[in-house]
Amino acid sequence: MKDLTKMVTASLPSTMHIAGINIARSSGSTYWLLRQSSQWLTLRLATHPHWLRGVRQLQVVLPASSARHDSITILTKALASPAAAKNTYTFTAIDTALANMLLWTASRKLVFMLRLTPEMATTHKMTPFSLQQDFAPLPLFLGDRNNSNDLLLPVHDAKLQQSLIDFYSANLLFTQFSSHQLVKLLPTAQWLQTILTTVPTNPAWPLTLATTFGTELLDVIHRARM
């Protein structure tokens, strides 16, 4: 990992730096949170494409046998490409409120979940699916992270669901597959905490969420804590 970090560092523009690293140990993929002023970019390095098409990441597939010099050349070009510019993002006040909520609920062992279709549940690692067409419309729930049988509340809010999908698309949430065809959307806590240190604090984030998404979200969270 140390050598890989050096390779990524050597490939970055002078104004960009590494702000976070996340490793998907099951697949060997690595995710890099890159910062350039107030803009952020999620870099995915892997030997295979993502199982979802349309994620908001700069994806670079490196052959397992590629030499370090060749990999740096490939990465340098990728980071200067239109794809890199297209996938950069800034953190809005709504994003800040959403990040605070995700960290707050996770600290209370509450996470959002999506119920996969039978086809996705059995073939998601072998068959590519579309993030927006296949993944985004799935039923959304808020439930107990450790036991969804104890708590699983439906959340009917298309706008919130799209915001969560956008977070997942940039690896600000990561997935953990469980029984009953459920996939947990777990916050990439270190990344969110790092980003939150760079934006204005918002202790009134519940009010921002209620104004943006309506009060049903707060009602569901309240019910989950009862």
The sheet carrying 110-115 orders its strands as 152-154, 140-144, 110-115, 182-187, 173-177
Query: What type of residue sits at position 56?
Result: R
pLDDT of residue 181: 87
Q: Is the pLDDT of residue 27 over 80?
A: no
pLDDT band at 2 (very low <50, low <70, confident <90, very high): confident
pTM over 0.85: yes
pLDDT in tens, 114-153: 999 888 888 766 778 899 999 899 999 999 999 888 889 9
How many Cα atoms within 13 Å fall on the side-chain side of residue 121?
13
Q: Is the pLDDT of residue 205 over 70?
A: yes
pLDDT, mean of residues 206-220: 94
- Distance from the first to the final alpha carbon of the chain: 43
Mean pLDDT over the full length of the chain: 91
C-alpha closest to that of 103 among 201, 10, 213, 9:
201
pLDDT, mean of residues 18-24: 94
DSSP state of 55: -
Sketch the domain layout of the chain as residue ranges: 2-87, 93-225
pLDDT band at 51 (very low <50, low <70, confident <90, very high): confident
pLDDT, mean of residues 57-86: 88
Q: Is the pLDDT of residue 225 over 90?
A: no
Going from the C-alpha of 40 to that of each of 15, 114, 136, the distances in angstroms are 12, 26, 22
pLDDT in tens, 74-111: 999 999 999 999 999 999 999 999 999 999 999 999 99
Q: Is the pLDDT of residue 66 over 90?
A: no
Q: Is the pLDDT of residue 65 over 70?
A: no
Going from the C-alpha of 106 to that of each of 145, 154, 173, 180, 189, the distances in angstroms are 8, 17, 11, 21, 9
Q: Is the pLDDT of residue 178 over 80?
A: no
pLDDT of residue 16: 97
